[in-house]
Every structure is written in C-alpha cells, then in structure tokens.
Copies of this chain bind each other. A is one copy, B any other.
Amino acid sequence: MKTSNIIAGKEVKGSGKTFQSQNPSTLSANEGEFEIATIDNVNQAVNAAATAFKSYKITTGKKKAELLRTIASEIEAIGDPLIERAVKESGLPRGRFMGERGRTCGQLRMFAYLVEEGSWVEARIDAALPDRKPMPRVDIRNMLQPLGPVVIFGASNFPLAFSTAGGDTASALAAGCPVIVKAHPSHPGTNALVSEAVAKALEKCELPAGIFSTLYDNGYSIGTALVQHPNIAAVGFTGSEAGGKALMDIAAKREFPIPVYAEMGSTNPVFILPEKLESELDTLPKVIADSVNMGVGQFCTNPGLLIVIEGKNLSAFTKNLEQAFEELISFTMLNKGIHKNYINKREKALKSEGVTTINAKNQSSETLQAPPTIAKVSYAQFKKNPNLHEEVFGPFTMMVVCKDKSEMQSLAENQKGQLTSTILGTDNDLKDNVELIHIISDKVGRIVFNGVPTGVEVGHAMHHGGPFPASSNGRYTSVGTGAIKRFARPVAWQNCPETLLPPALKMDNPLGIWRLVNGETVKS
C-alpha cells in the first residue's frame, strides 16, 4: 500500500518514488510504502499554510485549545495500531510508547490549557498620558503574535513526543502557526497515523485544513526546500549537531534569515563529589548505569561524562560501576545509521590514547543492539583530545578522573554548551563547591542536583535547551510551556482604537488575563 503526502487534509500526487521503513529489531522492511514529496508539494504545502495562517493567527485561544485537545483524543483513538507501528519502526518496547503517547497527549493538553488561559501572550499596556511634560505619552500596547507557517522535523528518538504532533508541533499550533511536518524516514508509518489524527481534528473543529501538512523524503532535498521557502517563518528540529547545524546554515543564508530551533547533542556531564561518592558507593553506580542505558542511551539528556576526583574510594566505585554495567542488557537502537555511528564512535573513544575500558560488551554484527559501555580517562588526557568531548549517541559514558577540585572546575569551565549538567553531592560537598555550581550554570540549560539528567519533566519551569551546541538558541526551551515563545514575537499597537485591538489588549481585559499595565502586573 502506498501512503501519500498529506497537504491540507488531502492526499496529493508526489514524485512516484517511494521508500519503506525498516524494523530495527528484525532488520526486515515494514509494510507500507511512502511516496517521496516533490518541490511542487513543498510549494503547495507552504501556500496552503500561508493561506490558513491568515485566519488561524487570529483564532481564539479557546478554539486553538479545542483543536489541541481534539488532536490528543484522535491520537488516543488510534489505539493499539499506533503503539504497534511505533514499536515496529523504532525497536523500542511497547511500554515506552504507552508512556510516550501519554506524554504527547499530555503536552497537547498542556498547551490547550495555556492558550485557553491566555496570559502567555505577555500583554503590556502603557496608557496614554496626554498631560505629560515635555511631551505627551501616546497609548502603546504590546502582545505576542504568531510568526507564520513553521516547519517541524520529526525526531528519530521520539516518534511520538518530538515528532508529528509532538512538543514542537503542539507549541507552534498553540501559538497560532500552521505546521508542515517533514516526517522522519525511520518512522513514516507512525507519522501517517498521527497525521491522519491531526487532519481529522482540524476537520472536526472546522478549522482550515492548511494548518497542517506532512511531507515524506528519505533524503535531504525536501527538508532543505522547506527551510528555504520564503513563506516559512521558523523551523523546529531535534536531532544531531550536524543535522541541526546544517539547518541553521541554510536558514542563515536565506534572503530573509529565520530562526531555527534545533535541539542537538549534549554530553550532559555528571559531577560526582567526593563525600557523595563515598556515602553512596554501592547505590550510585546502579542509578548511573540505568540512566545511561535508558532509552538505549538515545535520550538527548543521556549522561555521557562522569566527572570524579581521585581518592581512596574511586577504585571501589569504579568496580561497582563495572558490575552495574555488566548487569545491563543490550537493546536495539533506532536505525542502522544510529547503530553504526554508535559502534564506530564507541570504538574510536575506547581506542583513544589514555582511555581504559571499564566495561564493554561485544556487539553482535547481526543485530542493531547497542552494548552499554563505560570507560575512563584522566582529565589530562581528556583535555588534550577534543574527540572525547563529543557525544557518543547511545548507552556510553566516559569517566573523567580529575586530580583535584581545581581540575574539575577547569573541566566545567572549558566544556561546551550542554542541555544539562548534574551535580551529585552531599550538603557538605555542595557547600564546598559553590564556585563549581556557578561555573556550571553558565554552561547549561538545566542544572540537576542529586538526580539523573534523563527524564525531562514537561511543565512551566522546565528548560530544555542550552548554549550552542546543545541547542541552536539557548534562550528557548523545546519542552514545557515556555516552548510556545519560539513561535511568536511581540507586536506593538500604538494609538489603536479600542474596537480594533486584539481582545488581549482591550482596556477592559475581556480575556481576564495577567497583563503588565503601566508597569504593574494585574489581572483586572
């Protein structure tokens, strides 16, 4: 069966060429063929989105909330076939997708609540002061408005939560931006099911079908053409540093550059302080090993570096880590490319000068299983070899042994931007390392105390995005309610008649939202 590109709710004629996805667990092709889009399809989808934007941008928060909730219900209504397809296209277990579906629908409903409540537009009113001297002040009001049609790239590692109707799409739709999803070639079937749910929801809500389209391609040309299209206003991406940087460069070279929100790689260093190491010698190693192997190490927040200080307990700790890794099970990775990269990068790291393997299982060449791996290296060696600073995407972690606190600080200071860093320390440890904490907070989007970096809570206070290269733009989060800000910009309305103002800016506050009125935060 051939699945076509969906533009504004309709199947359209594509290139005629198709591709199939592969089941990473069996290495056989999944059923269904997916038609590769054409440049014409790109133009059709963007034009439909641009037309839909004209009405969608002024659609009420209540109506947008209805859409987001309906999408969630439609995704749930797919039922088991969605879970099954996602399993077949990712090699990840069923339980993972029960959770990921919950998260995906939870995100959609969270954004529904956010736009229904309405204060997210950050309305500001500076009322006229006609008698001000030497010059009167004119009435100025300001609120966030949607950017325009956006392109979202499906992410291999989250076929539901960061793909077709994942966090990027949910936040863009919430902001009032039509979305064109470039499906990830590893899970086109999952994309097709979710896309159908979105199209159905638009129809049920009687909103323009052009608010959502999805295009297939197993190469780069469709994605590139989408990012280059003059009517595209922003791009959302979760994936590798190379992929994200390529999109950033394409966007920067446009006649009118646009923002690319790329959430890319990160080594997510875990700083283990001495007293903590001693006091949890037996328990910490297992916690760390489980975090490294979670999601087959395919989380952006995977702890890829463990920073420790030489000391009397280190060899016992290392031994316990070895044991904890020995007990881990190898799981199947998302696709051939990711598996090949893992095996190659792991090997390169293990063979680097000064690197000692603590525990590494062999991998079978017949499967895409990823052997969990832990190695160690001295800070002196680590410092000399920039390759060791790169992420090894998969269940891999490198213990970096510092001679003392000052080496640990120096590592923190010289690290690249990170999505997260974690500090494991007792109260005494933390008191002794306040400077380290400050250094780390400059390099990361999220600083975790006595926990693991994996597991990204979806809420108001989450920040998922760090200084480059962790993400293209560390001022924005791709997880949590803050993600909506990526797809909006402030517009000031000066001396606008009350009747013409957007509801959020009308003097009597018909939406009942929080606003900054003459510098005061008020809801009245």
Contact = CB atoms under 8 A, between A and B. Distances in A.
A472 interface: yes
**Most central of A126, A462, A494 by chain B CB within 10 Å:** A494
Contacts of A142: 460-463, 482
Contact of A126 (B256, B461, B472): B461
A346 interface: no
A249 B448 CA distance: 35
Given A137-B459, A259-B475, A521 B516 contact: no
Contact of A497 (B427, B468, B475): B427
Interface stretch (A210-218, A292-300, A337-345, A437-445): A437-445
The 8 closest A-B pairs by CB, nearest first: A463-B492, A446-B492, A124-B461, A126-B461, A142-B461, A252-B252, A475-B489, A140-B461
Contact of A441 (B145, B249, B441, B469): B145
Contacts of A137: 457, 459
A514 interface: yes
A444 B489 CA distance: 10
Given A461-B142, A461-B492, A256 B467 contact: yes
A449 interface: yes
A427 B57 CA distance: 24
Interface in A430-488: 430, 434, 437-438, 441-442, 444-451, 455, 457, 459-463, 467-469, 472-475, 477, 482, 485, 488
A258 B491 CA distance: 24
A138 interface: yes
A497 B516 CA distance: 32
Interface string A243-257: 000001100100011
A484 to B, nearest CB: 12
A492 B427 contact: no
Interface in A490-504: 490-497, 500
Contacts of A14: none
A460 to B, nearest CB: 5
A200 interface: no
Contacts of A109: none
Interface of A: 54, 57-58, 119, 124-126, 135, 137-138, 140-142, 145, 148, 248-249, 252, 256-259, 416-417, 427, 430, 434, 437-438, 441-442, 444-451, 455, 457, 459-463, 467-469, 472-475, 477, 482, 485, 488-497, 500, 514, 516, 518-519, 521, 523
B444 A140 contact: no
A494 B438 contact: no
Contact of A521 (B119, B252, B455, B488): B119
A491 B446 contact: yes
B490 A126 contact: no
A57 B442 contact: yes
A516 B138 CA distance: 31
Given A451-B138, A473-B259, A495-B451, A126 B459 contact: yes
Nearest to A122: B482
Contact of A448 (B427, B442, B494): B494
Contacts of A493: 441, 446-447, 449
Given A125-B461, A491-B444, A416 B58 contact: no
A475 to B, nearest CB: 4
A141 B468 contact: no
14 contacts: A125-B461, A126-B462, A142-B460, A145-B441, A430-B497, A446-B493, A447-B491, A447-B493, A449-B493, A451-B495, A460-B516, A460-B518, A482-B490, A514-B521
A157 to B, nearest CB: 19
B438 A496 contact: no
A381 B218 CA distance: 44
Contacts of A451: 138, 494-495
